[in-house]
A = this chain, B = another copy of it.
Amino acid sequence: MSAWIITIGDEILVGRILNWNAYWLAKRLTSLGVQVKKIVCVPDDIDVISKTIIDAINDKVDFIFTTGGLGPTPGDVTTEAICKATGRELILNSKALEFIRKRYDELYRLGLVDSPQINEARKKMAKTPEGADVIYNDVGVAPAIILDTDLATIIALPGVPSEAMYLFEKIVPRIRTRKKVAVVEDYIDVEDESALAKILSEIRREYPDVSIKTYPIGYGQKRMRVVAIAEDLKKAEAALKTFINRIRKD
């Protein structure tokens, strides 16, 4: 199971904020057995976002997560970009509209907005690609959007981290049903650096379904972290063990 994460918003590209959304999404997806193949940060630009979604579809991932650009302002264009990438119509989603009405009623009662009235800007958040499902946002306002296509499932989350995290957890049950990826790791001391490449090549040949990599810890590269990734946990563990034994024996 694999995914791309597309974080949308100029605030990342101008270095105003750290990309916290990509970090926790990558961490959560990895823990759920989803391999994150690429993280891309793009500006609030329909063409760039749509092109990036098409790139992800062409990379044959199972899930495409976007964060940001679901709000009421003209700069929020994620939904339109998803329509453009998938050839879907942008329609007024009655379930989304009901969610937004309910949410503004709540915010009004809490004294957080001046009016519960659904104007054009607020209604904009209820427009979704045809066939999309929506998830109620009781942290912010804009609902999360889930669009199943023949090729990938596109999941659009709001940009505010608390909203994105909350809505992601609501969507997790839909992710768990698919095939997973296992990640195992260990640490070793490498006495002879030059043997490393040779043994690594051997292991890659012997375990073609396992991606195994080493990461030096500090100068001199004696201490190494070894990470093995595979769809089959047992294969990942076997490759890791074989690699470590051969390095130690060397």
Contacts and interface: CB of A to CB of B under 8 A. Distances in A.
Interface of A: 10-20, 22-31, 35-44, 48, 71-75, 107, 112-114, 119-122, 140-141, 183, 193-194, 196-197, 200-201, 213-216, 219-222, 224, 227
Nearest to A17: B23
Which 6 residue pairs across A and B have the least CB separation, nearest first? A15-B27, A15-B26, A39-B41, A113-B220, A121-B193, A14-B30
B214 A74 contact: yes
Given A13-B36, A18-B23, A193-B121, A219 B112 contact: yes
Nearest to A26: B15
Nearest to A121: B193
A224 B121 CA distance: 14
5 contacts: A12-B22, A12-B26, A13-B26, A39-B40, A74-B214
A39 B12 contact: yes
A44 B214 CA distance: 11
A194 B15 contact: no
Contact of A11 (B16, B38, B215): B215
A112 B119 CA distance: 65
Given A37-B43, A39-B40, A121 B14 contact: no
A193 B22 contact: no
Contact of A14 (B26, B41, B75): B26
A214 B121 contact: no
A52 to B, nearest CB: 8
Contacts of A28: 15
A23 B27 contact: no
Given A25-B15, A220-B112, A213 B39 contact: no
